[in-house]
Amino acid sequence: MCALLRTHPLDPSSVTTHIRSYFRLPCEGRAANMSSTTTSTTATTQTAQVGSISLDSSLAGYDEEQIRLMEERCIVLDNDDKYVRDGSKKECHLMTNINKGLLHRAFSVFLFDPESGKLLLQRRAAEKITFPNMWTNTCCSHPLAIKGELEEAEQIGVRRAAQRKLDHELGIPAEQVPLDEFQYLTRIHYLAANGQDDIWGEHEIDYILFITANVTLQPNLNEVCDTKWVSPEELKALMTELDPASFTPWFKLIVQKFLFPWWTELLARRQAEQPLDAKSLADLTDHSIHRML
């Protein structure tokens, strides 16, 4: 498959079929096994949208572990990224609350191989409550409202959360992704529904982190159903050939505005035969909050 993409990065129909097949089958097989659950969930969700949303109605039929994770405590913010209070993951992802302005902190990690310069993508598992089966950046999640992850100096709380979730989702040991190797670049503020008329969504101030590291992968199949290393050309081809709905909304926003210029700089700043180093992009750090609503 990699050879096919390199040989025909933007090739039309014959490649399209292969790309679509490769990037959809692993998760769709798992999703098919959950078909009865999906039917049940849809019916329950419709009922929940009419009346008040309760724990049972909004989460009925979903994966047990993913339901448990909905009780994690996220960091609720004002529009300037200032801490307001903590709130459950469930509370922060219900569109009824998002539509009233509820906003929380998040992060998006982009992990690159230091030799090839390729970016690691993941495909979210079918079991995920929000944006299941979609391709996205290496890891995207939320710092928790706990002492170590609330710390804001040098984005240390977000870095700790990123290290924790790389282990949880992809099985990457903390020692392979040291806290001081994450390069913070900027923040985006965006809002996205899980789908038309869906009760779930995202409303986040998202910290974007780059890191270059040699890593071993042992994906947690309750979180991630597939992974893929891609070059810039391969990613452009995929985003042309696959349905836009195959990718998470935050990933598409970051790709459209930021990713490729940063990636180009990362590759251009390689020192002689040395490995790529995300820290070389430190001068590109932008402390603004980019509103992409």
Active site members:
140, 204
Give CA–CA dist 65/222, Å, rounded: 8
Instruction: State the average pLDDT over residues 80-108.
Output: 98
Task: Evaluate if residue 140 carries a pLDDT over 80.
Answer: yes
Instruction: State the average pLDDT over residues 243-247.
Output: 96
* Residue 5 pLDDT: 33
The 10s digit of each residue's pLDDT in 187-218 is: 999 999 998 889 999 999 999 999 999 999 99
pLDDT band of 110, cuts 50, 70, 90: very high
Mean pLDDT of the chain: 86
Instruction: State the average pLDDT over residues 252-270.
Output: 97
CA dihedral for 234, 235, 239, 244, sign (positive or negative):
positive
* Residue 273 pLDDT: 86
For 243, the token pair is 């349905």
Give CA–CA dist 190/249, Å, rounded: 9
* Residue 137 pLDDT: 99
The full set of domain ranges for the chain reads 2-291
CB-based contact 111:119 (threshold 8 Å): yes
CATH among 3.90.79.10, 3.20.20.150, 2.30.130.10, 1.10.10.10 for 2-291 = 3.90.79.10
Whose tokens are 């926003």? That residue is 253
Give CA–CA dist 290/190, Å, rounded: 9
Residue 48 Cα distances to 16, 34, 70, 100, 152, angstroms: 39, 21, 17, 17, 37
pTM: 0.84
Give CA–CA dist 87/285, Å, rounded: 29
Instruction: State the average pLDDT over residues 17-42.
Output: 43
Whose tokens are 């995920």? That residue is 128
Give CA–CA dist 170/255, Å, rounded: 22
Spatial neighbors of 127 by CB under 8 A, at least 6 apart, are 30, 34, 62, 63, 65, 66, 222, 223
The 10s digit of each residue's pLDDT in 38-77 is: 333 333 333 333 223 345 578 989 999 999 999 999 999 9
Spatial neighbors of 171 by CB under 8 A, at least 6 apart, are 216, 217, 218, 219, 220
Give CA–CA dist 74/205, Å, rounded: 12
* Residue 28 pLDDT: 58
For 180, the token pair is 């001081």
* Residue 57 pLDDT: 79
Instruction: State the average pLDDT over residues 115-130.
Output: 98
